[in-house]
Structure 1
């Protein structure tokens, strides 16, 4: 192996003498072909030998070697990413994507936990170390609090005075009052002897609280703010969807290894009192001021202002930076206008108003952070594996603002180039976060290619805002249309016939739009909620979309209306919100007309579901009645199925599983079989308790469809591997908490009681 050639190809063949290579060339290279076969095995052997060396170190070893390395330092193995096996269906459905692995990052960090075992033990029982442990083990932002420090003490002047342990809080301080009940509450309390929990039992001598932030702050740079009125209006929503949503602070690392996290280091909604105090402290500085505050500052490369890479918010008006000197914190429930050159921001609702001196404004852009549970729907998070593979033969078109000759400034221009090129196989990649208010019509009839992909570049989330539905026209049952990484404020209609519609890490806003109406204008009359996806059953008098497959992964949609004769709907780690009506059904006249067969994995469906059959449903929340016409085939497993549903055979599904367990428990305790009436009464009580509860049911809010902490444990831990059912199953939140509790048993000082408290 030492003499192995370093040539990029034909390595064994290049080791032969020149005379043998010349004779082989004269014979048509039969020897080289044989050696190339041997070379594949030699490469595999060499790679295996190299991996043996890497397996000696936890940073580079294969997952199977982590427990063996952990045994050398005496650590117990935690639930890790290597145990998550949720990607087989995605690999089968999306062979054209980059890959190779489609398992999402879930924050189960068994590798880093093993790596830092000795480091933890050297700092055992120190509060900053415990906070760092919680952060490393769970993958969430964390803050540790010694609650005995917040207890009211009787002071003795001859002993060490604890001046912060006073019984009377400062009622004149809005900042102090605003923190009450939160992770950074500094007011003192009397003793609470209850065990530490989510909502009570905090203040006691042996208690240490670990506050965890489950929501992540999704960075959204260069987003076009949504103007509320017409041209020249001073009112804006920072959200491009035109809805109220709180602004979040950026996740930062604590200041030093020995420090604790502060309010500036965790991803949470920015408190107005904190934002106001931050701006006030900045304005109180003597000139020249630094040009950035703790929350507000310019990203690198913006212009005259100094870069503030840890800031959470920044605004430009027509490309001109707004310095922190001109930012004002206000309550904009009434849309008040600030001073002439000022910009008022309401961090609680995400509203923004411009002073008269900055009007009229052509474009207002914001760099801000949005709260969101995980990596589902269009987002700026890393999703390299979900991009179209570079080895897929296709024309590549780029949409950005670079002005380069090979790129396009608008999506319409790129689609025109696709049409002019005979509609061959094409990937249109958008590399901006801009809003594209363009109508989109895709004519697939007679296309030279077999697919068209519209996807966002990794790290971007473009916003499509067409005035009319995106239409896929023409009859071409062999054609495929893919949307990747997009936020689409609209609907998709297929009046022709299509073979495949794929949504990958994309959002079709449920209901089409969530923009708030102008309070100065009359409200339009209520209208039926339009479906996000609608495919025709006939085209030109002939059956249409009989081969249509709707394939979705980590995506969000509203209602889906597809003919019963279509091939099927496949949804992996998705959320389908019917907004009060059926989430999935067919095109028949009746409200219960069945749609096609479905294959669902780790998906939340809000609203009734009417389908031909359920081929597979695993770890699904059917938050509404589900009726399958054919129940002889398929199965439903580890799912919540609303009472009164008609499905194929079920395995460990709720609430049926809990009903049978409760009946068995009562009969075992009494020794007397229950009557049917008594059983019905037990079932009714279990069903009343055991149903999905969410932190928020309104799309656009940070905790949308996040399971409530007050909800039933049977749903929160009812998946096959003990995680939660539904769209956020891939976050593995129960496993994260279990990992933390297991580590605290080892590292927490004897006699102390930990309390795991979710801050959001």
Structure 2
């Protein structure tokens, strides 16, 4: 019974309780029902005091408190549960924060007191949209004639061609040069102006800075033993600032407070804040360099900024280390290269928690699973050693489930062949906030290199949180039994939060090393494949269409990159249909998709030709599908909608088709803006999902809603006669 029911029952006279016991406690059962409702009422009364404060109130009370202070909800919240979010996980967290903005309601009165201050606009960007930002008053950068008796040295000044730092910051959030007037409105959606008296620009930074900790630098052996890249893949990767919060909320953001690429002139510059050192934006360690037992990481006074465009010719002073943060390159003196390798910690830029990265990931494992940890300070130094230990445990006792967890961000160069017995389950995963690299090399002479996965009946394999380079993943079926019968085999393979480098690797300019090679091969297997929050290359399916059913492939919140629009992203090679049933949601696919059937495709960007063998089943909805595609029934897709709206005008139809073609910041893996929709992309794509978010892999960032909500708040809190507009920083050339 509840506490209230027990109290009520104790108030009854003893004679009634005795008679109730003799009859099987019917009276106590009645009081239990009454007491439950009494308990609800008492709990509600006890919460009345807490529900009077925004910090402690229940979620239902937040709108009522907001109404008391005149809080106006944002128009872009959308209907609760509308779109795909309700189907995936109920009311998703991003939408919940918009519908029940507890923090915004709590700060409303404080914001009203600060209305008209420049720093408030940066606070709004962080609280409403979740974007770091820097606010700039453009009237201070207008070119105007000053009186000699009333000079303004802090205003914009004429260009000094010898001032490299000022020229580097031209037209950016830290511009200090004078400009002529721009009469366009700063808040215009067509073409935003900047330099005008009433204009205030809010430079927002959509890219995030992700850390890589204590990982080996890539030695460029073709250039000698003194040249290294920060990226373990050997590509040029700009270093990003690890942003720090302002000491005072009324301060205007400085470079150290924003996740942006590091400029060469910022290294060691006064007033910028520390960038180099352990726990800071980047650090370099080379054991026993420049002398035996030298302090690590390398002291800051030995680091010199340099333009290492031609780094094989660059002469590094003895005892110094040249660093190019723009390209992510390191050069040592010609006769002073480190002998024991180089380890780096740095930050790179990307849009979201996708692929292998040092971000928090939720993990789970079967009950009673054996946990084996691999790492510098763990029991096992290699993955194969942990696999061997599991084999020993299986011989001693029945252990059907195991988890091999890697607890650091080192590079593991191993050849892995995983064979699971019937009923076994194996997870190969990275610990939360770690990004280990699995480097698969050409080591086997008479066999196949790469990560090979085979299994018996009802066996399962999960790859979680790793970056795989050098080769792909092969999921192979078992050999046929006597009589040609196919035995039971591997049940499913899950790849989540992983990066299977498209093209197996990338060059310095991010071109793929093996552009035609697939990242995942499904060879004569009936195992289903699930890819979540990952970046993968092409998927190739080889199956017996006579003796088995189509393979189930599900891809969610991921990027599938065939490295070219002409190559197969999902197929069977030689332009043949993959014998698979595909379900794809919130993904960006570069390359052609040729499959047996598409059960469902939603909120996806299928940039190139799609061909499904069975058109009478399945559905494609709220997606971009190229004109030449052959798919199941399409609903609310582009460019179908704009072509239908064009009527019979063929010229207008072609113009509209070209207009809604998705535009990206970059389509090369390894660049910060990889697969990010460009600011000039058509609204039909940027707001084309079923919940008015953007199509593609970054759907769940809800960037259109963030933009609209921030614009609404800027209009509300901007000073009279002033206009604030949003300008996207770190925006590269569109692709």
What TM-score do you get using the length of structure 2 for normalisation?
0.84
> Is this contact kept in 1: 2:356–2:466, CA < 8 A?
yes
Alpha carbons of 1:313 and 1:516: their partners in 2 closer, same or farther (altered >3 Å)? Answer: same
**Partner residue of 1:681 out of 648, 651, 655:** 651
Alpha carbons of 1:166 and 1:184: their partners in 2 closer, same or farther (altered >3 Å)? Answer: closer
- Equivalent in the alignment of 1:143: 134
- TM-superposed CA distance for 1:41, in Å, is 7.9
Please state if 1:465 is matched with 2:465: no
2: CA distance between counterparts of 1:47 and 1:591?
A: 66
1: CA distance between counterparts of 2:166 and 2:643?
A: 47
What CA deviation, in whole Å up to 9, does each residue of 1:321-361 have, x standing for no partner? 20101101111122235233222111011011223575343
- TM-superposed CA distance for 1:156, in Å, is 2.1
Alpha carbons of 1:107 and 1:465: their partners in 2 closer, same or farther (altered >3 Å)? Answer: farther
2: CA distance between counterparts of 1:253 and 1:324?
A: 23
2: CA distance between counterparts of 1:162 and 1:574?
A: 52
**Partner residue of 2:387 out of 415, 420, 433:** 415
1: CA distance between counterparts of 2:316 and 2:38?
A: 68
Alpha carbons of 1:360 and 1:745: their partners in 2 closer, same or farther (altered >3 Å)? Answer: closer
- TM-superposed CA distance for 1:585, in Å, is 3.6
Q: How does 1:642-653 map to 2 (within 5 A)?
A: 642-653=626-637
In structure 1, stretches of 5+ residues that fail to align are: 6-10, 16-29, 92-99, 283-291, 300-310, 538-544, 664-677
Alpha carbons of 1:474 and 1:42: their partners in 2 closer, same or farther (altered >3 Å)? Answer: farther
- TM-superposed CA distance for 1:419, in Å, is 2.5
**Partner residue of 2:120 out of 106, 109, 129:** 129
- Equivalent in the alignment of 1:112: 103
1: CA distance between counterparts of 2:110 and 2:338?
A: 57
2: CA distance between counterparts of 1:186 and 1:139?
A: 27
Please state if 1:623 is matched with 2:618: no
> Is this contact kept in 2: 1:232–1:360, CA < 8 A?
no
What CA deviation, in whole Å up to 9, does each residue of 1:583-620 have, x standing for no partner? 44443x63132341111111111111111111111110
**Partner residue of 2:685 out of 715, 736, 752:** 715
2:662 is paired with a residue of what secondary structure? coil
2: CA distance between counterparts of 1:649 and 1:62?
A: 44
**Partner residue of 2:72 out of 76, 86, 98:** 76
Q: How does 1:488-527 map to 2 (within 5 A)?
A: 488-489=468-469, 490-496=471-477, 498-516=490-508
- TM-superposed CA distance for 1:298, in Å, is 1.9
Q: How does 1:197-208 map to 2 (within 5 A)?
A: 197=188, 200-208=192-200
How many equivalent residue pairs?
A: 668
2: CA distance between counterparts of 1:56 and 1:441?
A: 61
Indicate the larger mover: 716-725 or 206-215.
716-725
- TM-superposed CA distance for 1:254, in Å, is 1.9
Q: How does 1:694-705 map to 2 (within 5 A)?
A: 694-705=664-675
- TM-superposed CA distance for 1:376, in Å, is 0.9
> Is this contact kept in 2: 1:337–1:344, CA < 8 A?
no
Indicate the larger mover: 632-641 or 328-337.
328-337
> Is this contact kept in 2: 1:584–1:595, CA < 8 A?
no
2: CA distance between counterparts of 1:190 and 1:639?
A: 43
1:427 is paired with a residue of what secondary structure? strand
2: CA distance between counterparts of 1:42 and 1:242?
A: 66
2:194 is paired with a residue of what secondary structure? coil
**Partner residue of 1:487 out of 449, 467, 488:** 467
- Equivalent in the alignment of 1:317: 286
- Equivalent in the alignment of 2:143: 152
Please state if 1:744 is matched with 2:732: no
- TM-superposed CA distance for 1:479, in Å, is 1.4
**Partner residue of 2:533 out of 536, 539, 554:** 554
Indicate the larger mover: 315-324 or 62-71.
62-71
2: CA distance between counterparts of 1:42 and 1:415?
A: 56
What CA deviation, in whole Å up to 9, does each residue of 1:297-334 have, x standing for no partner? 222xxxxxxxxxxx311111128320101101111122
Alpha carbons of 1:230 and 1:179: their partners in 2 closer, same or farther (altered >3 Å)? Answer: closer
In structure 2, stretches of 5+ residues that fail to align are: 11-24, 289-295, 443-448, 478-488, 544-548, 731-735
1:222 is paired with a residue of what secondary structure? strand
2: CA distance between counterparts of 1:596 and 1:476?
A: 21
- Equivalent in the alignment of 1:398: 373
2: CA distance between counterparts of 1:419 and 1:44?
A: 55
2:65 is paired with a residue of what secondary structure? helix
What CA deviation, in whole Å up to 9, does each residue of 1:235-254 have, x standing for no partner? 11101111111000112212
Alpha carbons of 1:74 and 1:752: their partners in 2 closer, same or farther (altered >3 Å)? Answer: same
- Equivalent in the alignment of 1:601: 585
> Is this contact kept in 2: 1:107–1:731, CA < 8 A?
no
Please state if 1:296 is matched with 2:272: no
- Equivalent in the alignment of 1:534: 521
- Equivalent in the alignment of 1:289: none
> Is this contact kept in 2: 1:341–1:357, CA < 8 A?
no
- TM-superposed CA distance for 1:477, in Å, is 4.2
What CA deviation, in whole Å up to 9, does each residue of 1:107-144 have, x standing for no partner? 85833211211110111111111221222211111111
1: CA distance between counterparts of 2:521 and 2:644?
A: 40
> Is this contact kept in 1: 2:142–2:181, CA < 8 A?
yes
> Is this contact kept in 2: 1:107–1:138, CA < 8 A?
no
- TM-superposed CA distance for 1:624, in Å, is 0.3
**Partner residue of 1:332 out of 299, 308, 316:** 308
**Partner residue of 2:161 out of 141, 155, 171:** 171
Alpha carbons of 1:442 and 1:49: their partners in 2 closer, same or farther (altered >3 Å)? Answer: farther
2: CA distance between counterparts of 1:478 and 1:418?
A: 19
1: CA distance between counterparts of 2:96 and 2:671?
A: 22
1: CA distance between counterparts of 2:592 and 2:48?
A: 53
What CA deviation, in whole Å up to 9, does each residue of 1:510-557 have, x standing for no partner? 111114499xxxx99x866211000112xxxxxxx22x2111111110
> Is this contact kept in 2: 1:576–1:583, CA < 8 A?
no
> Is this contact kept in 2: 1:594–1:629, CA < 8 A?
no
Alpha carbons of 1:90 and 1:717: their partners in 2 closer, same or farther (altered >3 Å)? Answer: closer
- Equivalent in the alignment of 1:190: 180
> Is this contact kept in 2: 1:583–1:605, CA < 8 A?
no
- TM-superposed CA distance for 1:753, in Å, is 1.6
Indicate the larger mover: 325-334 or 128-137.
128-137
2: CA distance between counterparts of 1:421 and 1:42?
A: 53
1: CA distance between counterparts of 2:599 and 2:203?
A: 41
1:740 is paired with a residue of what secondary structure? helix
Q: How does 1:193-342 map to 2 (within 5 A)?
A: 193-196=183-186, 197=188, 200-229=192-221, 233-275=225-267, 278=269, 294-299=274-279, 311-318=280-287, 320-335=296-311, 336-342=314-320
- Equivalent in the alignment of 1:307: none
2:371 is paired with a residue of what secondary structure? strand
1:429 is paired with a residue of what secondary structure? strand
The alignment's C-alpha RMSD in Å is 3.5
- TM-superposed CA distance for 1:483, in Å, is 0.9
- TM-superposed CA distance for 1:101, in Å, is 9.5
2:257 is paired with a residue of what secondary structure? coil
> Is this contact kept in 2: 1:141–1:251, CA < 8 A?
no
